[in-house]
Every structure is written in structure tokens, then in C-alpha cells.
Chains A and B, each alone.
Chain A
Amino acid sequence: MTAPSLNVTIGGVEFKNPILTASGTFGYGEEFDEYIDLSRLGGIVTKSITRHERKGHPPPRTAETASGMLNAIGLANVGVDAYVRDKLPFLRNLGTRIVVNVAGFDTDEYLYVIDKLNGHDEIDMIELNISCPNVKGDGMEFSSNPQIAYDIVKKVKGICGFPLMPKLSPNVADIKPIAKACEEAGADALALINTLYGMAIDPFNWRIKLTNITGGLSGPAIKPVAIAAVWKTASVVKIPIVGIGGIMDYRDVIEFMLAGATAVQFGTANFVQPDCTIRAIDDLTDYLGSRNIQDVNDLIGKAKKT
């Protein structure tokens, strides 16, 4: 029997397997070079970059919660110029797909950063972090309103030299109209979900655990929320979905794909087990083989109703 095919295609880009690393949990790739063979990954999504360098929020920036963690790092990053100069060269020729996560606080910032990235052929795709507050608008996240999401995706798509994948926030009443708006605006794929709003307080010293007060909740605690978001989104869009949220091992990968995801991103799990992605690729291969499934794409959206 031949080995099962793990190839998936997203926005016209072929990935050798459906396992990517989530933005903000894998640095700029180089941090993990000593722990795993990066070339085995389906892709690497690098940490959000913005127009200028950002130092991030004052510590404490993280707090562990039940089966999850809160973070308020504050989009700390080197800024797009240093990214292109210092980080992109390492990512070239790694033998894996490079997805660059771009963040911004107004439309101009997104356009500025994308413009700086255009032409760098080591980049395979842009993941658009539209979960930042829109400082020039009403301060709401770009992804909290279908019209705002449509406008930003449309404008970025107009100048973006790469396939474009907006990353959606779960902090909305209904993710479906946002997803549809992004698709109509020309998005090539959707990544979901970003972290959930959360907060934690120490019951003994009464202190709020994060300096930033609230943070983004990630980890296994949010997986059911993410699965539901992928399932609902898959029912209304035709473009591929990349599932994110509490994925720890191959079983979670399968669950997301059954819900309708074409690929997934490992986030918080990278902190717990630096080689979690490689293990998942091996285990997924074994799983498909043991069930005589020749193509991983045969899992997509195949969840059965009980």
C-alpha cells in the first residue's frame, strides 16, 4: 500500500500536509529550529507584524487557566522592515510554506505592511489578523462587523501580491456573516479562530493576573468553540478554512478536518511540546494508513450527525 497523501491546497498554494503553526506561538520559525525539522511542517505562520516595532504590554503577560492560558503580549514584534531584513532570510529555503501574519490598527497600516512584503517570493501567503481594534474607526475589531471586515479585506486584496487569508475572531455573535463578507471581498481562505476574550483574578491577593486586565484565551479549553465556528463557517463559504483553537495532537487535527477545515494550526501546544506538530504529522499518517484512507482531503467536512 502506498503512503496516504497528506497534501492540501489552500488559496492555490499546495501544502505538503495540513499541519501549520499558529501565529504568535512559533516566533519567526528560527526559535524552533533546534527542536524540530522545520521542513516537515505543512507551513509556518510567523508572529504578527506591524508597521513599526512594538515592545508589547508590561508583564505579567500570561496566566494559566483551566486547560488553557490567557495572553496579552500586545503584538510585540520587530516591525516590517526588520522582519524583511532579519527574519525573512532564515525562512527562505526551509522547505515549508511561509505564511506571514500581518496586523494593523488602521487600514493604512495593513496596506503599508503588505506593500513592504510584496515581491518577497519566500512568502507563500498572507494571514490577515483582523482582530486588532480599529483605532481610526470605532475601536471595534475589524472582524467584529461584516461591513468593516469586507472593506479591509477588499482594500488589502487589491494590492496584495499573495493569496490572502483573514483570521477571524470568535468574539462575535455570529461568525457566518463575517466569514461571508471576507469571501465576497476576495479572501482566498479563512483562518479561525483567534483567541477568546478572557480574564483571571487571584482569589487570595485579589489581583488581576494580567497587567492588561484582559487577554486572549487559548488552549484545549477553547477547542469546542473553534470546532463549532469551523462547522458553521464551512456551511456558508466555499473557500478553504484553516482551523485553529486548542489543537494538541492528531486527534484534534482530525476533529477540525471533519468539521470542515482543510488544514489546521497548532498554537499553544507548541509551548507545551515543541515537537507536537511533528508527532501529529506522523500520527495522522498512521491513522489514515490504518483506516485505508488514501487522501487526507477525504476527511474534510465528513462529520456525521448522530
Chain B
Amino acid sequence: MERFPIPGTFLHIKPNTTGTDPLLRRAFSIFDYDEATGVVDILYKVAGRGTEVLSRVRPGETLDVLGPLGTGFDLPLTIDHLVLIAGGVGIPPVYLLAKSHLRQGFDGKRISYFCGLTMAAEKPMADRVEKLPINLQFATDDGSFGFKGFVSELLRARLDDGSLGTNPVICACGPDGMLKAVQTIARAYGTKCYLSLESIMPCGVGTCLGCVVKKDGEEKYVRVCREGPVFEATEVEL
């Protein structure tokens, strides 16, 4: 890719180079971007047929990639404290957001990254996050390292102890349960919060209307692929 991508945008990738099974593309948040080479990284876990086929693609093979697509994070550098919450393979968009802000001169001391993992074996996923000069804290379900419990509880603890400044902005990506918990906490604390959502996206370009999520308080749906995947937490009903 030629330019540093907007964090939170995604690539729509055909897992197989030929054939019709799997048929559709799969959406992956952009994880990382190397400005020297233009190389883009994604992070994924084998979760179904598409990712299973993708995992068998070997170096040197050509993939059909559409993107970057969607509406990503749009956060000014003037914010007080950037609080990033990632659950499992939700690491990429908020990692890229941290990197993007650092690159623009945002002070790493004003970035907190709370990374939730189920177990120690998942830790390598966060290798790149550990290299950023930011405040990184882990939460694990089994307590094998870092905070024992959900990453949302870690967020609540830090909001309570005042270590996140006076006016933090939360950005989260992860499983639905985690996003819901973060949404609830942000609402309770009156904290501005953005969520990067995942959805089954047949087309990725706003046409099929398959990936929609319900608008909060309205009998309306919005497209995750177009109006999202990043939404203000108050906009959507999870």
C-alpha cells in the first residue's frame, strides 16, 4: 500500500486464488503497515473455512485484496489520553491507531493499551504492541500473566484509580461480549468511546446489506462495512 492506512479500516481478502468454495471474501482489520516497504500485515485466527484456506496460502502466492475499506478511527491529536482495549484478535486496529498517533508525535505516555487474552499461549500476538513506547497492560482470563479477569474489568479499575487522565477517549476491538462490557463502562463513566465491530461481510462495499448492526434507540440498521467498522459506542446496539 502506498500510504499509511487509516486505523480501523479493513482489507477484503479472497482466501482462495481459484474456485468458488469458499466463495466470498473475508474482512480483516489492517494490523500493521511498514512505511519503508509498503507492506501491510493482518492478524487472524483460524475460525472457519475461509481462514483455514487462507492459512494454507504460502509465501510468494498472490492474493486478491480489496481495500482499504470502511470508516476507521478519526481521533484528533488534541485528546487527553488514548485508551486502547483489545481482546484476542481484536489487537490490530487499536495497535495501528497507537502507531499512527505516535507517528504523528502524540506522546506515548498518553496512550494506555489494555490487552485481553485468554491464556499465555496467545501472548505472541501482542509482540508488536510490546515494542511500542506506550503503557501496556495485560489481562488474562486464567491470570497466567497480568491482571486476572476480563480486560473490561481492568479498564474499570484504571478509570477508578485515575491513571487515565481527566478526559480519556476509549477505543476498543474484540469479541462482542467484551465490546458490550466496554460500552456499558463507557456509558457509566460518561467517557467517549469508539468500538471497532466485526461482522459477516459478503460484499464489503456497502451493497449487500448483510453486515448491518442495529442503531441504538432506533428501528434502523447501519452497515458495518461502510458506516463502520468503527462506531461511536453510543451509536450502536450490540
Chain A residues in the interface with B (C-beta under 8 A):
24-27, 31-32, 35, 55-56, 58-64, 66-69, 71, 73, 76, 219-220, 248, 268, 270-274
Contact = CB atoms under 8 A, between A and B. Distances in A.
B217 to A, nearest CB: 14
B207 A32 contact: yes
Nearest to A63: B200
B222 to A, nearest CB: 11
Given A25-B208, A55-B221, A62-B208, A220 B213 contact: no
A277 to B, nearest CB: 13
B14 interface: yes
Contacts, number: 84
B199 interface: yes
B66 interface: yes
A272 B25 contact: yes
B219 A71 contact: no
B205 A274 contact: yes
B70 to A, nearest CB: 13
A62 B209 CA distance: 9
B209 A271 contact: no
Contacts of A76: 209, 221
Given A31-B206, A63-B200, A76-B221, A248 B20 contact: yes
Interface of B: 14, 20-25, 49-50, 64, 66, 199-200, 202-214, 219-221
B21 A67 contact: yes
Given A35-B205, A73-B208, A271 B213 contact: no
Contacts of A26: 207
A271 B221 contact: no
B210 A71 contact: yes
Contacts of B200: 60, 62-64
24 contacts: A31-B205, A55-B220, A56-B212, A56-B221, A59-B211, A59-B213, A59-B214, A59-B221, A61-B212, A63-B200, A64-B22, A64-B24, A69-B202, A71-B210, A73-B208, A73-B209, A76-B209, A76-B221, A220-B23, A268-B23, A270-B207, A271-B25, A272-B14, A272-B25
Contacts of A55: 219-221
Contacts of A56: 209, 212, 221
A31 B202 CA distance: 14
Contacts of B23: 64, 67-69, 219-220, 268, 272
A69 B219 contact: no
A27 B202 contact: no
A71 B208 contact: yes
Contacts of A60: 200, 210
Nearest to B49: A64
A10 B78 CA distance: 60
Given A32-B205, A58-B214, A274-B205, 6 more contacts: A31-B207, A60-B210, A62-B200, A62-B208, A64-B49, A69-B23
Nearest to A65: B23
A99 to B, nearest CB: 16
Contacts of B205: 31-32, 35, 274
A62 B212 CA distance: 10
A63 B203 CA distance: 12
Which of B25, B212, B220 counts the most A-chain CB atoms under 10 A from its CB? B212
A272 B22 CA distance: 10
B209 A69 contact: no
Contacts of A63: 200
Interface centre among B50, B204, B214, B221 (most CB of A within 10 A): B221
A58 B23 CA distance: 23
B208 A66 contact: no
A68 B199 CA distance: 18
B210 A61 contact: yes
B75 to A, nearest CB: 25
A274 B66 contact: yes
A174 to B, nearest CB: 28
A69 B24 contact: yes
A271 B24 contact: yes
A32 B204 CA distance: 11
Nearest to B202: A271
A108 B221 CA distance: 27
A66 B19 CA distance: 11
Given A64-B22, A220-B20, A272-B25, A59 B199 contact: yes
B214 A66 contact: no
A219 B20 contact: yes
4 closest A-B pairs by CB: A62-B210, A271-B203, A67-B20, A27-B207
A132 B220 CA distance: 22
A219 to B, nearest CB: 5
B231 to A, nearest CB: 14
Nearest to A73: B209
